[in-house]
Amino acid sequence: MSGSAQSVRLNLTSSVQYVLRIADTCLIHAQRLSEWCGHGPVLEEDIALTNMALDLIGQARALLTRAGQLEGQGLDEDQLAFLRDERQFFNLTLVEQPMRRSSAHSPGGDFADTTLRNFLLASWLKQVWQGLLSSSDAQLAAIAAKALKEVRYHQQHAGDWVVRLGDGSEESARRMSAALERAWPYSAEMFVADVVDGAAAEQGLGAARSSLRGAWLADVLAVLDKAGLKAPADTPFLSSGTQGVHSEHLGFILAEMQSLQRQHPGGHW
């Protein structure tokens, strides 16, 4: 075994941060989805959730590799995933939130939260990837072409569940509605304009987040409407994961995700 468990420090440019925002959102969302592995409500959905988590890990790996190349210190995907500290992760805060109630003592939602979050995110990532199709960075464009097929399926699969549960029994409708109330305030962060996005749009790297809301909302409202759900009112709350300032949950995820690489630096199997 070789290497070092020392945390890596990034030379953060706006391009690197732009790519890491998408990479980390995919990675942390995958980590949360994978908590369902072996616990799905039915065997078939258990496999479906795991398949989607694996798609997202694949996307995160490709993006982390590219981010490492753009960053310039020669960091690889593993170093970026396992040796970065919390403040250098730039995922949406939404994906950190507990997704599955694993015990009476553990916070978190239920299957409605999972499937709703997956739908909101897939609808967002679809717009992000679409913007990256024409990226000035040929590698990002190639990653986007593959990822877009995957995320279109995630959106359909998760959207189907939103409709089934929202338009299902009284109990399932109540839970889906509660999940929507919980997730909605975090969706504001998906569309914040800032210098990182401005620079990315200017360089032709990818779309600015602020330009994605219209198309996202059209997709989301179409499904909510079929599900008999109403979009909650927007609130002033604005999460800040994409600035590197996270909720209390990310630290726990990273502790679990990174512990092996930290204890056995450079270990692979």
Partner 1 sequence: MSDEKGNVTNEWPLWEVFVRPKAGLDHKHCGSLHAADAAMAVQMAREVYTRRQEGTSVWVVRSMDITASDPGEKDMYFDPMEDKVYRHPTFYELPEAVNHM
Binding footprint of partner 1 on the chain (CB under 8 A): 42-45, 47-48, 51, 153, 156-157, 160, 164
Q: Quick one: 28 or 48, whose CB is closer to partner 1?
A: 48
Q: Quick one: 29 or 157, whose CB is closer to partner 1?
A: 157
Q: Quick one: 52 or 125, whose CB is closer to partner 1?
A: 52
CB 259 to partner 1: min, Å: 29
Environment class of 130 (CB within 10 Å of its CB; exposed 0-12, middle 13-18, buried 19+): middle
Please check whether residue 109 is in contact with residue 98, taking contact to mean a CB–CB distance below 8 angstroms: yes
Structure token digits, residue 200: 């990315």
CA–CA distances in Å: residue 83 to residues 65, 86, 165, 247, 257: 14, 10, 39, 19, 10
Q: Quick one: 20 or 49, whose CB is closer to partner 1?
A: 49
CA–CA distances in Å: residue 220 to residues 92, 119, 166, 184, 210: 18, 8, 13, 11, 16
CB 168 to partner 1: min, Å: 10
* Gap between the Cα atoms of 98 and 163, Å rounded: 22
Alpha carbon 88 to chain centroid distance? 16
CB 190 to partner 1: min, Å: 26
CB 156 to partner 1: min, Å: 8
CB 166 to partner 1: min, Å: 15
Q: Quick one: 27 or 165, whose CB is closer to partner 1?
A: 165
Please check whether residue 99 is in contact with residue 35, taking contact to mean a CB–CB distance below 8 angstroms: yes
